[in-house]
């Protein structure tokens, strides 16, 4: 997931919305996506839902079928939420990088501080909770929960470094931060290509779709979180392309009118493609690999369409104060929720969706504390470092 990145000082042609040049619709969408990831991990404590998540062909009752093979799946599809995060990162960072006042010199230390300092604190929190709440008797518990056993030094080191060694040992959610860091390091190249090729956007989008399809074909198509760079990086690039053409984006979303909500529905259908489309063919094992990979490309398209909707018809509901609060705390919530879910799972042994009554409020409270104690100070430090580097680089006289 991406760290919340405010777009201050509207870039030329940036979509309007909110005060101070911020894009509150995107802030709100990021918050909703973080909440979806929290619900996703909480519901994985339920063995029946974990079975469907692990194997979409697993037997299921009518209720499980309804929440797994319809657009209702979006309410707890954490993997799709991460796809939305990646597109959002590409969009927001490109808008920020194309502001007249942007300087690449301070960018890297600022960005890495904003990412790594909260991650390091979250890893320490996860390890501390793992020691404080032992696993105990794990019989009857979800395999997702029992996966969170003892973490070795290599696992902790991998989560602290993100780019080196295994990532996701202390918290499975950290797999996405590896791609976030990698994209952040490559951002200048992405921005350069997106801006230089902005007049060829349809061809660029087609090329990205082809690369993402190839990445899905050559990877574990049934495990999007395990797909490699050929699939993950085009998601960020999609956001970059949309941001580079934000004049057109603003014009298009302004003309959506009464058809806007139809676009939202299309996005919801595309985002759940891999769950409902393949079911139409009966046994998933008989579905050609190329078709299965195509569903992942359609999901990426749905994520991009949802970002456009956040700039258009969804902007108003996403500006609600509660949703915007979620947006400002989204990175903290993403980092701290999983240790909370694991601790609640081991402490209570609950295996029903009722566990949400504990995991959601506890995670939100901890996210607020983490934001105040860790994330906000890291932002201040990052801005301070940026100001110092900018002053040093300024010409004298």
> pLDDT digits over 331-363, tens only?
999 999 999 999 999 999 999 999 999 999 999
Rounded to 10°, the helix 24-43/330-348 angle is 10
Mean pLDDT of 246-271: 77
What is the predicted pLDDT for the residue at 140?
87
DSSP 165: S
H helices of the chain, in order, are: 24-43, 47-54, 62-68, 78-97, 104-132, 143-146, 153-161, 175-196, 201-217, 229-244, 246-255, 260-271, 273-276, 289-311, 315-318, 321-328, 330-348, 356-370, 376-393
Compare 219 and 189 and report the one with higher pLDDT.
189
Q: Would the pLDDT of 243 be above 70? A: yes
pTM for this prediction = 0.90
- pLDDT bracket for residue 181 (50, 70, 90): very high
Instruction: Parse the chain into domains and list their residue ranges.
Output: 24-197+224-255+302-390
CA angle, residues 161, 164, 168, in degrees to nearest 5: 70
Q: Would the pLDDT of 32 be above 90? A: yes
- pLDDT bracket for residue 4 (50, 70, 90): very low
Count of CB atoms situated within 10 Å of the CB of 147: 11
11-15, 48-52, 55-59, 160-164 — which is least confidently predicted? 11-15
- Exposure string over 105-133, b if 16+ CB within 10 A, otherwise e: ebbeebbebbbbbbbebbbebbbebbeee
- For the stretch 361-364, contacts whose Cβ atoms lie closer than 8 Å and that sit 24 or more positions apart, written own/partner, are 363/38, 363/333, 363/336, 363/337, 364/329, 364/333
Encoding tokens for residue 19? 């005060």
- Exposure string over 250-259, b if 16+ CB within 10 A, otherwise e: beebeebeee
Give the rounded percent of residues in the chain with a pLDDT score beyond 90: 56
Rounded to 10°, the helix 289-311/246-255 angle is 80
What is the predicted pLDDT for the residue at 184?
97
pLDDT in tens, 183-213: 999 999 999 999 999 999 999 999 999 999 9
Q: Is 283 exposed, middle or buried (0-12, 13-18, 19+ CB in 10 A)?
A: exposed
Top mean-pLDDT range of 123-127, 130-134, 219-223: 123-127
What is the predicted pLDDT for the residue at 18?
35
């Amino acid at each position: 997931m991406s760290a919340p990145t405010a777009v201050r000082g509207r870039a030329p042609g940036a979509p309007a919305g909110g005060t101070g040049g911020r894009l509150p619709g995107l802030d709100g969408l990021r918050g909703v996506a973080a909440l979806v990831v929290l619900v996703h991990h909480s519901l994985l404590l339920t063995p029946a839902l974990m079975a469907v998540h692990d194997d979409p062909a697993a037997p299921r009752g009518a209720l499980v079928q309804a929440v797994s093979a319809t657009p209702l799946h979006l309410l707890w599809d954490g993997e799709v939420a991460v796809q939305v995060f990646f597109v959002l990162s590409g969009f927001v960072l490109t808008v920020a990088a194309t502001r007249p006042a942007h300087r690449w010199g301070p960018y890297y230390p600022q960005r890495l501080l904003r990412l790594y300092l909260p991650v390091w604190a979250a890893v320490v929190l996860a390890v501390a909770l793992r020691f404080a709440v032992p696993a105990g008797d794990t019989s009857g518990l979800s395999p997702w929960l029992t996966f969170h056993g003892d973490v070795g030094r290599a696992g902790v080191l991998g989560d602290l470094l993100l780019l080196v060694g295994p990532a996701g040992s202390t918290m499975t959610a950290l797999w996405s931060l590896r791609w976030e860091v990698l994209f952040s390091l490559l951002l200048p190249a992405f921005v350069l290509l997106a801006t230089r090729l902005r007049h060829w956007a349809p061809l660029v989008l087609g090329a990205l779709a082809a690369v993402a399809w190839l990445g899905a074909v050559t990877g574990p198509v049934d495990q999007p979180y395990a797909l490699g760079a050929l699939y993950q990086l085009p998601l960020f690039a999609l956001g970059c392309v949309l941001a580079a053409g934000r004049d057109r984006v603003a014009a298009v979303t302004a003309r959506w009118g009464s058809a806007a909500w139809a676009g939202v529905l299309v996005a919801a259908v595309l985002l759940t493609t891999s769950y409902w489309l393949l079911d139409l063919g009966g046994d998933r094992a008989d579905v050609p690999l190329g078709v299965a990979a195509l569903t992942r490309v359609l999901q990426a398209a749905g994520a991009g369409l949802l970002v456009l909707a956040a700039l258009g018809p969804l902007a108003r509901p996403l500006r609600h104060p509660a949703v915007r609060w979620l947006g400002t705390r989204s990175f903290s919530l993403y980092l701290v929720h999983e240790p909370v879910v694991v601790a609640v799972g081991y402490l209570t042994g609950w295996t029903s969706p009722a566990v949400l009554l504990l995991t959601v409020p506890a995670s939100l409270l901890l996210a607020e504390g983490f934001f105040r104690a860790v994330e906000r100070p890291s932002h201040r430090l990052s801005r301070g470092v940026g100001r110092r580097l900018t002053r040093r680089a300024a010409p004298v006289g």
